[in-house]
């Protein structure tokens, strides 16, 4: 009996030690992931919706740059489509919608390339990553198609190929990462005829946005959407009206994955809680057994 | 002691009209599943870019995990706290947990778009992801459950190995393998028992963390940072009612006398556990002042009310009454209500509460989704019936002189 008990304790201790050993390696990796490397001159785009004329050239160019059926540009000058509230989808990474209330504005939408992306934090296998230049991109070789990134994204951006039996993809704007790595502008920025889209370093874009607000306080609503929302986004918006709660959902300034990650790391803080529970249960198991044996021996 | 209860394979015949109906439901589900694998998830579900998750995640996976909580709660009670009285219910609870988690894994398998990459989380880690933690824990726990079930397999076949035809020459070898396996298991089983409980606590709560990242997309009645705690507490409270419900159902369907004294004393744990859960749930509501949403009378507030009143408060009151705890019907109804409450809670968290910012329509499960979910439940029951016929799971009274199996899963600390 005592022999068994000693063995029991030994095994428990061994498990504790090995888990501790694992934990000393793992968290570092995890912590590194929590703080994505945000380079000082990461890029962004400033969308000035007061300039946008709703020509949808950006949609057309985007399709071309990503290998989708583009069609004739003539078909894009169609007010009916503008008035339908569309969302980015599996064959359209960006859409321009028209909003009418106290004036009219056309707004181009796509993935915001968040500074602390919920999709990156959520992805079960780490298939989505925030790159040094600010773009948030998806890796087809890793994704398992669980769609948790879609659940997580506060802007409801990632789309999924529901009608493909094999290799369905998560589809979203990739900030033209191929073009920008060759030194070219993103396709939409490149084609925009009125310079409603400005590509540049995120910090400079924020300065530029504030300059425009200051110079034309009558023209702009005094807020750069995306400067702080969900911890900041690479795409920034200027408008004549508050876009939050209208064009975009009302979102706080806390990073989207913040609460979830701190709970997650709380439960697993260096594996201490699980090991503690293990030890506690082991202890109870041993003690109650002890009592039981004594009872039986009497 | 008049009778000794000994786990024995049930000898009743397999097919009954009920079983045939279940088989039809299962086949119907499998047909829709074939559609999913041939033409994609969209062809059989109502899921879309607005609603990426439906009842396959909300019910098959989230509720499935919660309702399989009988496995770890009875293991904790019987093996860790050594309440030997409950040993007869541990094996059935373990079998349900094993089948339950198997079908949870199946649910994940059919829901993910790239099912052939289901092993990716094993090698590609994202420690920030609640889903990763759920996935890894469920995989490990499933393995632990299979290991915990092994003693029933060895017990069934030890000394009775009788392979057909020319294979019979291996009888001896297989038998000795079984014997050494059995011995090895006896020595190490306590490791798996504790690990099973720890893993369960971890992923039961992490399932609650899952929806937190959805932030404002989730209705404030359910969205709270203590979701993991609420999920864990509700899992604790639904474990025993599940065991009671199954035990009563099994006795009825196999024509056995229900083990009322064991079930009655087990039911004493339910009210306190439900009470703690209710305090957590209501306390959270008061602190975050979400009760204001209950003044609006709409589908969301009705579903919340149904979940809390019918699924928690009513059964809590019932389990407090000794008369209910002593009657099989009372126990059955009260247990069913708790199960219903947790089912509703998971459904509400994953489906009702989820409203994306740009939704143009709302989600309701398709015929295909419902068929597959029902099909999985039917298959699970069919497997349960099969397993209790093959393996010594259910304890029945026996007057034969028989060495008492001290541990339902043998090999706990001696
Ligand atoms: S907008 Fe959505 S998809 Fe794009 S980076 Fe942010 S969380 Fe990810
Ligand atoms: S669907 Fe793919 S990219 Fe999205 S969370 Fe799942 S594995 Fe990651
Ligand atoms: S191309 Fe420029 S002006 Fe035309 S819709 Fe796009 S953002 Fe607006």
Residue A38 maps to a domain: no
What phi and psi values does residue B355 have, to the nearest 5 degrees? -135, 105
Same domain, A244 and A277: no
SS3 track for A165-198: CCCCCEECCCCCHHHHHCCCCCHHHHHCCCCCEE
pLDDT tens string B345-371: 999 999 999 999 998 888 999 999 999
Task: Based on the fold, state whether residues A284 and A245 are members of the same structural domain.
Answer: no
- Percent of chain B past pLDDT 90, that is, above it, reads 64
**Which ligand has the shortest distance to the CA of A110?**
1
Which domain, by its residues, includes A279? 5-26+272-297
Can you tell me which atom of ligand 1 is nearest the CA of A230?
6
Provide the shortest C-alpha distance from residue A214 to chain B (in Å).
Answer: 31
Q: Is residue B128 part of a domain?
A: yes
Q: What are the phi and psi torsion angles at A45 (to 5°)?
A: -135, 135
pLDDT score, position A269: 65
Q: Which residues of B touch A150 (CB under 8 A)?
A: 49, 52
- The runs of H, that is alpha helices, within B268-313 are 270-287, 299-305
What are the angstrom distances between the C-alpha of A236 and each of A180, A229, B257?
18, 10, 70
Cα separation, A149 vs A39, whole angstroms: 24
Structure-block tokens of residue A150: 């879609």
Torsion angles phi and psi, residue A100, rounded to 5: -120, 105
Inside any domain, residue A35: no
In terms of domains, do A152 and A293 share one?
Answer: no
Q: Which of A163-167, A203-207, B162-166, B259-263 has the lowest mean pLDDT?
A: B162-166
What pLDDT, on the 0 to 100 scale, is given for residue B83? Answer: 83
Indicate if A253 and A279 belong to the same structural domain.
no
Q: Do residues A163 and A250 share a domain?
A: yes
User: What are A162-202's pLDDT values in tens digits?
Assistant: 999 999 999 999 999 999 999 999 999 999 999 999 999 99
Task: State the distance from the centre of ligand 1 to the C-alpha of A118, rounded, in angstroms.
Answer: 6
Q: What is the pLDDT of residues B245-276, one digit of tens each?
A: 999 999 888 888 888 889 999 999 999 999 99
Residues A22 and A116 in one domain: no
User: Is B33 part of any domain?
Assistant: no
- Where residue A160 sits, what CATH number does that domain have? 3.30.70.20
Residues 6+ apart with CB under 8 A from B282: B308
> How many contacts (CB atoms, under 8 Å) link A and B?
220
Nearest to B71 by CA among B51, B91, B53, B49: B91
Chosen for mutation from A148, A230, A257 (greatest number of chain B CBs closer than 10 Å) is A148
Nearest to B279 by CA among B218, B236, B335, B325: B236
Is A240 found in the same domain as A277? no
Q: Establish if A163 belongs to a structural domain.
A: yes
User: Are residues A181 and A254 both part of a single domain?
Assistant: yes
**Residue of A11, A152, A286 lying closest to B213 (CB–CB):** A152
B82–chain A Cβ distance below 8 A for any pair? yes
Q: What is the pLDDT of residues A70-122, one digit of tens each?
A: 888 888 887 788 888 899 999 999 999 998 877 788 999 999 999 999 999 99
- The nearest CA of chain A is from the CA of B314 a distance in Å of 32
What interface predicted TM-score (ipTM) does this complex get?
A: 0.90
- Map tokens 């059926």 to a residue: A69
Confirm if B248 and B262 have CB atoms less than 8 A apart: no
Per-residue pLDDT for B67 more than 50? Answer: yes
CATH number of the domain bearing residue B171: 1.20.1630.10
Q: Total domain count for chain A?
A: 2
A195 and A50 belong to one structural domain: yes
B192 within a domain of the structure (yes/no)? yes
From CA B369, how far away is CA B58, in angstroms rounded?
11
A61 and A194 in a single domain? The answer is: yes
Tell whether A48 and A108 lie within a shared domain. Answer: yes
Name the closest-CA residue to atom 7, ligand 1.
Answer: A153
What is the enclosing helix (H) or strand (E) of A63? Answer: helix A57-65
B404: left (phi over 0), alpha (psi -120 to 50) or beta: beta
Q: Are A239 and A221 in contact (CB under 8 A)?
A: yes
Minimum distance, in Å, between the CA of residue A294 and any CA atom of chain B: 13
Residue A175 domain flag? yes
Domain of B123, in residue numbers: 54-359
Q: Which of B376, B126, B216 is nearest to A128 (CA)?
A: B126
The closest residue, in CA terms, to atom 8 on ligand 1 is A119
Same domain, A156 and A284: no
Q: Indicate the range of A260-274, B222-236, B318-332 predicted with least confidence.
A: A260-274
Total number of domains in chain B: 1
Indicate whether residue A128 lines ligand 2 (CB < 6 A): yes
User: Residue A264: its chain B contacts at CB < 8 A?
Assistant: 127-130, 133, 206, 209
Cα B409 to Cα A250, B56, B157, B176: the distances in Å are 54, 32, 15, 20
A1 lies within 8 A of chain B by CB: yes
Overall pTM > 0.80:
yes
> For residue B11, is it within any domain?
no
* The pLDDT of residue A22: 44
Is residue A66 in a domain? yes
């Amino acid at each position: 009996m005592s022999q068994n008990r000693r063995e029991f304790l030994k095994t428990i201790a061994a498990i504790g030690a090995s888990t501790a050993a694992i934990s000393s390696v793992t968290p570092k990796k995890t912590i590194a992931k929590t703080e994505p490397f945000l380079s000082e001159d990461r890029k962004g785009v400033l969308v000035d919706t007061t300039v946008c004329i709703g020509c949808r050239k950006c949609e057309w160019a985007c399709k071309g740059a990503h290998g989708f059926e583009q069609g004739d540009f003539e078909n894009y000058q169609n007010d009916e489509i503008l008035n339908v509230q569309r969302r980015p989808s599996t064959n359209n990474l960006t859409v321009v919608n028209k909003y009418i209330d106290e004036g009219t504005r056309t707004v181009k939408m796509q993935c915001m390339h968040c500074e602390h992306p919920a999709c990156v934090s959520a992805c079960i296998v780490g298939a989505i990553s925030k790159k040094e230049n600010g773009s948030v991109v998806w890796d087809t070789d890793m994704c398992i198609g669980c769609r948790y990134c879609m659940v997580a994204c506060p802007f409801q951006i990632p789309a999924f190929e529901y009608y493909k039996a094999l290799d369905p993809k998560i589809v979203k704007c990739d900030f033209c990462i191929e073009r920008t790595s060759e030194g070219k502008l993103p396709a939409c920025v490149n084609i925009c005829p009125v310079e409603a889209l400005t590509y540049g370093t995120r910090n400079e874009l924020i300065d530029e946005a504030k300059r425009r607000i200051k110079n034309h306080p009558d023209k702009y609503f005094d807020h750069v959407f995306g400067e702080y929302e969900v911890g900041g986004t690479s795409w920034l918006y200027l408008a004549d009206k508050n876009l939050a709660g209208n064009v975009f959902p009302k979102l706080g300034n806390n990073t989207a994955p913040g609460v979830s990650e701190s709970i997650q790391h709380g439960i697993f803080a260096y594996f201490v809680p699980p090991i503690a529970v293990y030890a506690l249960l082991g202890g109870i198991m041993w003690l109650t057994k002890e009592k039981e044996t004594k009872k039986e021996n009497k | 002691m008049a009778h000794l209860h000994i786990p024995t394979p049930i000898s009743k015949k397999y097919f009954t009209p009920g079983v045939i109906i279940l088989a039809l439901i299962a086949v119907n589900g499998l047909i829709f599943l074939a559609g999913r694998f041939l033409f994609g998830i969209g062809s059989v579900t109502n899921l879309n870019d607005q609603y990426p998750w439906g009842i396959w995640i909300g019910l098959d996976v989230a509720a499935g995990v919660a309702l399989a909580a009988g496995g770890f709660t009875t293991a904790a009670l019987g093996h860790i706290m050594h309440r030997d009285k409950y040993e007869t219910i541990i094996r059935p609870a373990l079998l349900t947990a094993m089948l339950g988690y198997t079908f949870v894994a199946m649910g994940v398998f059919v829901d993910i778009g790239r099912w052939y990459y289901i092993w990716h989380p094993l090698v590609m880690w994202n420690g920030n992801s609640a889903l990763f933690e759920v996935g890894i824990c469920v995989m490990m726990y499933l393995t632990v459950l299979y290991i915990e079930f092994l003693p029933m397999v060895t017990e069934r076949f030890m000394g009775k190995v009788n392979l057909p035809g020319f294979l019979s020459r291996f009888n001896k070898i297989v038998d000795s393998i079984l014997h050494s396996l059995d011995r090895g298991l006896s020595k190490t089983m306590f490791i798996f028992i504790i690990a099973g409980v720890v893993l369960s606590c971890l992923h039961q709560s992490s399932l609650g963390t899952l929806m937190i990242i959805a932030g404002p997309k989730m209705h404030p009645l359910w969205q709270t940072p203590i979701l993991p705690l609420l999920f864990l507490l509700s899992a604790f409270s639904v474990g025993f009612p599940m065991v009671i419900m199954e035990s009563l159902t099994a006795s009825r369907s196999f024509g056995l006398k229900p083990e009322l004294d064991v079930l009655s004393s087990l039911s004493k744990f339910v009210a306190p556990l439900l009470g703690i859960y209710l305090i957590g749930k209501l306390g959270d509501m008061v602190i975050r002042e979400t009760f204001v949403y209950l003044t609006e009378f709409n589908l969301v507030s009705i579903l919340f009310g149904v979940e809390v009143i019918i699924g928690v408060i009513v059964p809590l009151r019932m389990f407090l009454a000794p008369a209910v705890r002593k009657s099989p019907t009372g126990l059955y109804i009260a247990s069913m209500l708790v199960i219903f409450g947790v089912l509703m809670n998971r459904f509400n968290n994953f489906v009702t509460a989820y409203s994306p910012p740009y939704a143009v329509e709302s989600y309701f499960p398709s015929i295909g989704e419902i068929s597959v979910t029902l099909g999985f439940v039917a298959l699970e029951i069919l497997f349960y019936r099969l397993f209790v016929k093959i393996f010594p799971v259910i304890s029945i009274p026996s007057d034969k002189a028989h060495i008492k199996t001290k541990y339902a899963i043998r090999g706990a600390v001696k």
